[in-house]
Amino acid sequence: MAPRTKEQFENIREEKKQLIFEAAFDLFALEGYHSTSITKIAKRANTSKGLLYNYFESKEALLLEILSSGLNEMMQLFDPNHDGILSEEEMLNFLSNLFEMLKTNNRYWRLYYAIFFQPTVFELINTQFADIFTKMMKLLTDYFAHHGLQEPEKEALVFGSLIDGIAFNYVMNPDLYPIEDIKDYIIHKFCYIKK
């Protein structure tokens, strides 16, 4: 049997890291951040605590990586060309993809909203991701100002709150929440695309 190549070792490392990531994700979503121990995560990932620490320095680092993956994906949808301008087409694309993410990745959003009800954890992520939220608010404020709204900052806050509320209601009650009707309404209200 030939020795493994550097690429094979890297693939094995990435697979193990992904197993730990998924185990932590599941446990944080099911049991909450504080109730989930490193021991539980290691056991679920079928690895040792020592090996887990080779990939993630702490439980906090695991949580931040999980949340970062979703928030970075959302930011990429929000400003895909990184020009600092939210166009009508980008808003349409963002909303369409966001509603699709809500439907296909319920687990992520359950975790995201569960964190809001854990003040010490929310404080941690709020600090870590303040830059992303600030960028999104600036893009939204500029977008609404461009479309002539008198108080674009307030409109951006209302828009963010509305999207959060929709997402929360759908995630908590997907079988009863009319997500497609709401998606069409939000797109019609906020995309400003001339037909």
Structural domain for 38, as ranges: 1-57
Q: Is residue 107 part of a domain?
A: yes
The per-type count for the chain, helices as H runs and strands as E runs, is 10, 0
Q: Is residue 62 part of a domain?
A: no
Please say if the pLDDT value at position 3 is more than 80. Answer: no
pLDDT value of position 192? 85
Let me know whether 49 and 91 are in one domain. no
- For 45-85, write each residue's pLDDT tens digit: 999 998 899 999 999 899 888 888 887 887 888 888 889 89
pLDDT value of position 129? 80
Q: Which two tokens stand for residue 39?
A: 């021991």
- For 96-153, write each residue's pLDDT tens digit: 999 998 888 887 888 888 777 777 777 777 777 888 889 899 999 999 999 999 999 9
State how many domains the chain has. 2
**CATH number of the domain enclosing 136:** 1.10.357
Give the pLDDT band of residue 1 (cuts 50, 70, 90).
Answer: low
Q: What average pLDDT does the segment 33-52 reach?
A: 92
Let me know whether 144 and 102 are in one domain. yes
The string of DSSP letters for 120-159 reads: HHHHHHHHHTHHHHHHHHHHHHHHHHHTT-S-HHHHHHHH
Q: Is residue 94 part of a domain?
A: yes
Let me know whether 90 and 29 are in one domain. no
Please say if the pLDDT value at position 2 is more than 70. Answer: no
Better-predicted residue by pLDDT, 43 or 64:
43
Q: Which two tokens stand for residue 73?
A: 């994906």
Q: Is residue 172 part of a domain?
A: yes
Q: Is residue 195 part of a domain?
A: no
Let me know whether 45 and 14 are in one domain. yes
Let me know whether 93 and 178 are in one domain. yes
What is the spatial distance between Cα 21 and Cα 56, in angstroms, rounded to a whole number?
9
Please say if the pLDDT value at position 194 is more than 80. Answer: no
